[in-house]
A and B are shown apart, each in its own frame.
Chain A
């Protein structure tokens, strides 16, 4: 009788052990999926202008069809855009 009771307790403890750990595993996953606040540096300003359409067209077409880069600066300026895309201000 005592042996049966002990066996039954052992089984219940084992099931409890496994189920508690499954809950903890789910919590570990949930914790990993939550976005945590970071101390990443950020200079974001609301006044910033970024033309999305410009980004989308980017340089793929320009490069693919070999368009000549459109000068973006006055002649004589030293800086040149690299990458061959250009012309998409």
Chain B
């Protein structure tokens, strides 16, 4: 009979369960992400900014010398000591951030030149404005003219928000020159609160979605969900092209918050998503009224496509999608151009506008949507990782809060 030890001493090390280990890893990545995002924001903030001075001669054609007086540029020619023109910068919120315009004005109050100092719009949309010579419309107009879209300035179809921002920037610059240099102060602009169909629709969709996802009757829940999805697709998609995009997220992070009176929709959309995700830990948008999600889901309904995501590739696809969202945010913050971050094919579908690459991208997604359930949402959309991040941060904060409460109760 073999000797058996009387006792065997085992040293047991505390082992974290795999779930806990995964969570810790995720939290390290979250902290690293926040640090990098803050660093990108700081870099973008420091390195951004356009020197307006070199642009002044473009908008005061007769000037050979320029003086600066406060926020006003005054142009002189060699022949005379009398000013030959004035220039000022006006700024107004566009789709993705403020648009700054330099406006030159002759002493008689006629606009002599207009130049785009800075813009943060989606390149595809802004090209519409550039290609249609939109800014040429301001030439020869007087500072006292309305300079309003739909009145004396024609809008650009498909880029109305950017066109409106340019017109308003020009107006503000013109009013500034008029008041400061021409001694003709014009009445200040009033900003009426804009409440229209998109604003009403989004509030209704949040409301119906909130009630709908709490319904116990699955049949009714399904019906209501289809109702909100189709409403989102038609109203927020095909009619107004106002889906939630990564551009909105980057604008929010960059601090490019438009005035609420004329951009109530922006605040309702972003505020609603942040509020519901933070308070309720639910993503109210994607499955209930995302226009592009609804479009893909409709195609899946027609073809009978099902969810396809192999389990062993799940981790790879999840991190790839997170990586895309992260790079998009980083690009937008580094360049302080939220419009550049966006790669979603929403405008290509709903506005039928896009570059060749964007059309190929949309075409592949449409074909894939007939073969599997919501391929863009499940593998490529940058917004899903954003919700995930908010939900994970919420969970973390709650954990810390509870731990702190327990410790204070013990103490």
At the interface, yes or no: B358 with Cβ under 8 Å from chain A? yes
Determine the distance from Cα of A48 to Cα of B87 in the docked complex, in whole angstroms.
15
A28-B361, A83-B69 given; A50·B310 CB < 8 A:
no
At the interface, yes or no: A6 with Cβ under 8 Å from chain B? no
At the interface, yes or no: A39 with Cβ under 8 Å from chain B? yes
Q: Which of A39, A52, A77, A84 touches B130 (beta carbons < 8 Å)?
A: A39
Q: Which of B69, B335, B341, B368 has the most CB of A within 10 A?
A: B69
Determine the distance from Cα of A1 to Cα of B121 in the docked complex, in whole angstroms.
53
Report the contact-size class of chain B (Cβ under 8 Å from the partner).
35 or more
Is the beta-carbon distance between B380 and A81 smaller than 8 angstroms?
A: no
At the interface, yes or no: B30 with Cβ under 8 Å from chain A? no
Q: Which of B58, B65, B71, B327 touches A42 (beta carbons < 8 Å)?
A: B58
Majority secondary structure of chain A interface residues (helix, strand, loop or mixed):
loop
Is the beta-carbon distance between B68 and A40 smaller than 8 angstroms?
A: no
A43-B61, A84-B70 given; A18·B343 CB < 8 A:
no
- Spell out A's residues near B (CB within 8 Å): 10-11, 14-15, 17-18, 20-22, 24-25, 27-29, 31-33, 36, 38-45, 47-52, 54-55, 58-59, 63, 72-74, 77, 79, 81-86, 88-89
Q: How far is the CB of B188 from chain A (nearest CB, A)?
A: 17
List the B side residues contacting A51 at CB < 8 Å. Answer: 65
A31-B357, A32-B123, A41-B139 given; A50·B364 CB < 8 A:
no
Is the beta-carbon distance between A86 and B57 smaller than 8 angstroms?
A: no
Is the beta-carbon distance between A22 and B320 smaller than 8 angstroms?
A: yes
List the A side residues contacting B69 at CB < 8 Å. Answer: 59, 81-86
